[in-house]
Structure 1
């Protein structure tokens, strides 16, 4: 299938009218739904018109430079929720906290052990293999404290690594 100028213009027109890719493929003939979707993306066409008559904004192109840090400045968002009042369904706007503040309290009997600062070649079956620091930095090391046979970590790091599922859900 060859994308001629006339077919591209017809594709743009049908896309802006809100037709689905399948409907456009049927009208163009000789082209698949996936071919229509691919051409729409290559042309960077904006979002289609929806049944309500509004258009959605085109998605920004992705770059593979660096991941973005989360924006914690926008902590409150407005969401539309529905609820029933008798036989009537009501829509209302509610404000929702996007990031919940968590107060983490350490138990008073928690003792953080001093690490023995072992390197990778110094680890044995009976030493804690909990990594400490950035592996690309000079001061990177492993905990190195004694660990039981059944665990790669000392008792302190075992509690950090293997949290009960109920406790993890509470922290979310």
Structure 2
């Protein structure tokens, strides 16, 4: 419990940060209500994609197969994987939203947001456990907290930020 509670308290703070990010876009959400029911798709998918990467990296660290110093090519590869996963899943999400709400622009916005957030997820999922290990923190305890913070805050920001940029064409 002593080793876990500090990370959960950090998570509580970052959850409020994610909630604050959403409040920055309250006016946009009020004008395009479908954003409220769709934004968790971006954050949820980013979190899950990042956790896939995180799990593989933590296992590799435990087996002694991975160190921060020697893996910059692998970081780039993970970023590219995140972009590809984001494009595939984002395209499907965009098509579903298009048929659900009848707006190709909402579909395009979720597509772009998904690419951005899954790129972040892959990058954080790869680097965070290595950095925590480097500073003698247990990556198994803290990595998912940091990853979730990044994918929630940036996922909301990407999705709602893009929606605010395209707002004149959404209303």
Please give the range of the TM-score, normalised by the shorter of the 2 chains: under 0.3
Larger radius of gyration: 1
| TM-score computed with the length of structure 1 as normaliser | 0.19
Q: Report the structure, 1 or 2, having the larger helix content.
A: 2
